[in-house]
């Protein structure tokens, strides 16, 4: 899937976060990382507590691509408390993705190199 070039499409996508269809919520969450210029999406954070496990799995993986301040706390809580091992796996993967994004902005080239290799 190619990046969606316009940030203006986000409001149209957000309305589906409250859909009764878990499949639709899941697809919309999968779309977030493909939206250019979307760095934050606080409306996505409550979906970590969605009633459908497949939605929780996808949002746990998607959160690593966002830069919300509370993501680390949410993912850490999911890693230690979620009953579904796939949610925990997605949360662990997101922690790695999120930390690598931060490390790639590091001023020391050695840190950037290791972060890029881990990626």
Tokens of 6: 């316009």
**Confidence category of residue 112, pLDDT binned at 50, 70, 90:** low
Boundaries of domain holding 36 = 7-118
2 occurs within a structural domain: no
How many folded domains does the chain comprise?
1
18-44 residue pLDDT tens: 999 999 999 999 988 888 778 889 999
Q: Assign residue 70 the CATH number of its domain.
A: 1.25.10.10
1 occurs within a structural domain: no
**Confidence category of residue 1, pLDDT binned at 50, 70, 90:** very low
Evaluate whether 92 touches 61 at the Cβ level (below 8 Å): no
């Amino acid at each position: 899937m190619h990046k969606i070039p316009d940030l203006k499409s986000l409001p149209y996508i957000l309305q589906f976060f409250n859909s009764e269809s878990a499949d639709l919520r899941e697809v919309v969450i999968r779309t977030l990382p493909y939206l250019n210029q979307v760095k934050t999406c606080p409306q996505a954070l409550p979906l970590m507590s969605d009633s459908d496990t497949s939605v929780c799995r996808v949002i746990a993986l998607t959160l690593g691509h966002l830069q919300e301040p509370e993501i680390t706390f949410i993912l850490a809580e999911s890693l230690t408390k979620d009953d579904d091992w796939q949610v925990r796996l997605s949360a662990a993967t997101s922690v790695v993705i999120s930390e690598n994004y931060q490390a790639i902005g590091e001023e020391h080239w050695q840190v950037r190199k290791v972060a890029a290799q881990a990626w």
